[in-house]
Structure 1
Amino acid sequence: MSNNNQQKKFQSQPHLGLVCITASKQVRYRTITRKRLLQMTPKEQAERLLGLYRENLERLNLAIDFCLANSINLYRMTSGLFPFADTEIGAEVLNQFADKLQVTGSRATENNLRLVLHPDQFVVLSSDRQQVIENSIKILTMHARIMDLLGQPRSPWALLNIHGGKSDRAEKLIETIRSLPDPIRLRLTLENDEYAYSSEDILAVCRQAGIPMVFDAHHHVINQKLDSYEHESVGEMLAAAQTTWTNREHQLVHISNGKESFGDPRHSDLITNMPSSYRDVPWIEVEAKLKEEAIFKLRQEWLPKLSIKSWLQFN
């Protein structure tokens, strides 16, 4: 490795991403239930969504302010940013914010803030019910539209990350992904989960469908019933996932710790256990209950250790 490449590697550290809200009340969003919305007339629905979208866009701007003020370069927007924007009324209301969304997205881009989305669990592209698949595509179309309005690229930089869904339906999952329109397909990534799709399962799907894999170390150890992030398969699957990214500098992974025990699928407040293989990952979404506090703790305790190890390696 040349001296320049050594220096670049030494200087680079993983970007730690904020997921949706803050532990403090600085970043919060409004919503409304479907039952409540359906009790209104169409005119009332439009008026209510207009106010809600306006306020949530303001709060998205506050979230961007928070990230920039705290040198956070990755923000996972909430999937409920614009509730019911997948309906005809919601879509019409959302279009009224096109100019403002462009300004918001441009500000994120100009400040090198990466915006990503993780649609909710109702998105299942591998279902044995065509109606579920069609509704899932409808939801993804809405999220892709939001990304387009924000001026975000149609690439995994502005990813839409989902799980595999119904187990033992890999062929249907691949078939559905291949048929997706570009605004969705070019942004889509798949993540391994605790039970239905292992890392190897999702890796195979990603390779055949031609989309990137988001590796989640905690899901992996639960699925494989492991007792350590240092098991060799963690590093191996991380490296394998990296090969699915056309631009490897954009590879994104997730990290969480178990709440009560190592294998607990519930997320802990902070991250106290990091896989050593994550030291060279460029982008990490921190999935912890205390959100920004977990990020700050990793900055204070984990990232400095990486810098020391890098210095010892190259000196």
Structure 2
Amino acid sequence: MLGYAAMNRTLREESPPVRCNRSMQEATFEERGLSYVSELALQNVRDLLSILRWNVRHGIFFYRCTSKLLPWNLRYEVEELPQYDELADRLAEVGAFVRENGIRLTFHPNYYCKLASTSEDTARRSARDLANHGRWLDLMELPRTPYHAINVHVGATYGDREATLARFCERVDDLPTRAADRLVVENDDDEGLYAVGELADGVTNECGVPVTFDYHHHKFTHRGATYREGFARARETWDERPVVHLSEAERLHTGDTSVRPQSHATYVETVPDWLRAAADVMLEADAKERAVLYHTLTR
């Protein structure tokens, strides 16, 4: 399967726009409180179902939902929301649609989610964020496996790579099962961070978390391994069909060498057949659903 992340550009251009990332500034949160959070969360979940229905109509069965689905969820428990019962019903409706249509629905918490941080406060907030994502998936009644993944990065080395990986695994062990059983970890796009093999050895072998192979990131952390070798190592960490992230460098498409080599292009020109045959591929392209349709309609 090919998939895309978060925004559906086609639906976002409708009036009113269909989107599931409504949020607010902190001052608004403080002023309007959980009643307003409830309203936005319900709108987000309703629109998530609309996006999934659009995806199915267009033959797309792999989708990464935004982590803004329930805004400011670090500041409250979901059960505290005034419209919790209705929200739970709507999330269950999403989950039923996902199961009935064979959709792979995943999440990728934001960059601040750093479970291995040396800051106890950051680590605590990160653990709560992951637990919240697991709670959303539980409310959808989706299986507690990496098939419905919660994808993270280790985040940094903090001056000691081995100690950081060990700390990451210790904190995975402390997570509630609703998060830990769905957790996956991704290789990085910085030579000084983590390659696929380092994550397989230091994370999968130690605490059982599978490795998501990011094809574009592998360019920066290949450690001498080819793309096929990098994917093969990541694939070994999965007990089910793996997830792969695929993007291409914007500078290769535009010829603008001032653009960071890590920046994603609007489209992906090539999806290797061998990769598509062996994994579910998330296209991390700025064209979003249009990047997927470009490939599904031209095959």
Q: TM-score, normalised by structure 1?
A: 0.83
Instruction: Specify the code of the residue in structure 2 equivalent to 1:189.
Output: V
Structure 2 match to 1:50: 38
Determine which of 24, 27, 34 is the counterpart of 1:35. 27
The answer to whether the Cα contact below 8 Å between 1:252 and 1:281 also exists between their aligned partners in 2 is no
Larger Rg: 1
Shift of 1:281: 2.2
Structure 2 match to 1:16: 2
The answer on 1:77 being equivalent to 2:69 is no
Structure 1 match to 2:126: 136
Structure 1 match to 2:256: none
- Deviating runs (4+, > 3 A) in structure 1? 273-277
Instruction: Specify the code of the residue in structure 2 equivalent to 1:190.
Output: V
Could you say if the C-alpha distance between residues 89 and 33 of structure 1 is closer, same or farther in structure 2, counting changes exceeding 3 Å?
Answer: farther
Determine which of 131, 136, 140 is the counterpart of 1:150. 140
Alignment of 1:271-286 (within 5 A): 271-275=268-272, 277-286=274-283
Alignment of 1:240-259 (within 5 A): 240-247=233-240, 250-259=241-250
Determine which of 80, 86, 109 is the counterpart of 1:119. 109
Instruction: Specify the code of the residue in structure 2 equivalent to 1:202.
Output: L
CA distance in 2, matches of 1:133, 1:232: 32
The answer to whether the Cα contact below 8 Å between 2:63 and 2:106 also exists between their aligned partners in 1 is yes
Structure 2 spans left out of the alignment, 5+ residues: 254-259
Instruction: List per-residue Cα deviations over 1:269-295 (Å, max 9, x = no partner).
Output: 000133454142230111000011111
The answer to whether the Cα contact below 8 Å between 2:96 and 2:140 also exists between their aligned partners in 1 is yes
User: Secondary structure in 2 aligned to 1:71?
Assistant: coil
Instruction: Specify the code of the residue in structure 1 equivalent to 2:213.
Output: F
Determine which of 214, 217, 231 is the counterpart of 1:238. 231
CA distance in 1, matches of 2:276, 2:289: 20
Determine which of 261, 277, 280 is the counterpart of 2:252. 261
Instruction: Specify the code of the residue in structure 2 equivalent to 1:54.
Output: L
Instruction: List per-residue Cα deviations over 1:236-270 (Å, max 9, x = no partner).
Output: 111111111112xx211100011113882111000
The answer to whether the Cα contact below 8 Å between 1:234 and 1:277 also exists between their aligned partners in 2 is no
Identity across aligned pairs (percent)? 26
Shift of 1:36: 2.3
Structure 1 match to 2:257: none
CA distance in 1, matches of 2:44, 2:78: 14
Instruction: Specify the code of the residue in structure 1 equivalent to 2:129.
Output: I
Structure 1 spans left out of the alignment, 5+ residues: 1-14, 226-230, 305-315
Alignment of 1:102-113 (within 5 A): 102-113=92-103
Instruction: Specify the code of the residue in structure 2 equivalent to 1:32.
Output: M
Instruction: Specify the code of the residue in structure 2 equivalent to 1:223.
Output: T
Alignment of 1:152-191 (within 5 A): 152-167=142-157, 168=161, 169-191=164-186
The answer to whether the Cα contact below 8 Å between 2:212 and 2:243 also exists between their aligned partners in 1 is yes
Determine which of 269, 289, 295 is the counterpart of 1:298. 295
CA distance in 2, matches of 1:240, 1:47: 47
RMSD: 1.9
Determine which of 203, 206, 209 is the counterpart of 1:208. 206
The answer to whether the Cα contact below 8 Å between 1:23 and 1:289 also exists between their aligned partners in 2 is no
